[in-house]
Amino acid sequence: MTQTTILSQRSSKPFLWIVGIIIAVFALLQLVRFVVPEFQPDNPPVTQQVVWNSPEAEQLWEQACADCHSNETIYPWYSYVAPFGWLVAHDVHEGRDALNVSTDRRIEWDEMVEMIEEGEMPLPVYLPLHPEANLTATQQETLMAGIRATFR
């Protein structure tokens, strides 16, 4: 063996160790969601069914709001990969804590409408990965009218 070959083998060992450690840590991170409930994507049972005033309003609700404000969340593939999944699950749980049409008996429809009018919902961080939630002004008006008629 030449000296260059020996040096090459020695210099690749630390690199392989580092790669191995990174893979092991990544694999361990995937298990956290099974231990920390806040990081687990879930859909608890629906205890209250909403009867929307129109199919258009219901479709817009599902398109822009339901993932965070109901127990019928459609989790994308990346929500099962840590640490991104932790953020998704945390945001969904926060959204449900603020408003959950699948369980809440008393819905404050006026606050819902106000948040849409002021551009606070859907959250800007949600829109890049969910462009369908970026409603036009006409769609927002339809959704707000549907919220008023459904929850008033």
Task: Out of 2-6, 33-37, 129-133, pick the least confident.
Answer: 2-6
68 and 136 belong to one structural domain: yes
pLDDT in tens, 89-117: 999 999 999 999 999 878 899 999 999 99
43 and 82 belong to one structural domain: yes
Total of domains in the chain: 2
96 and 136 belong to one structural domain: yes
pLDDT at 120: 94
129 and 55 belong to one structural domain: yes
| Residue 129 CA, distance from chain mean position | 10
Mean pLDDT of 31-40: 81
21 and 79 belong to one structural domain: no
pLDDT at 11: 67
85 and 112 belong to one structural domain: yes
Mean pLDDT of 33-53: 89
Domain hosting 3: range is: 1-30
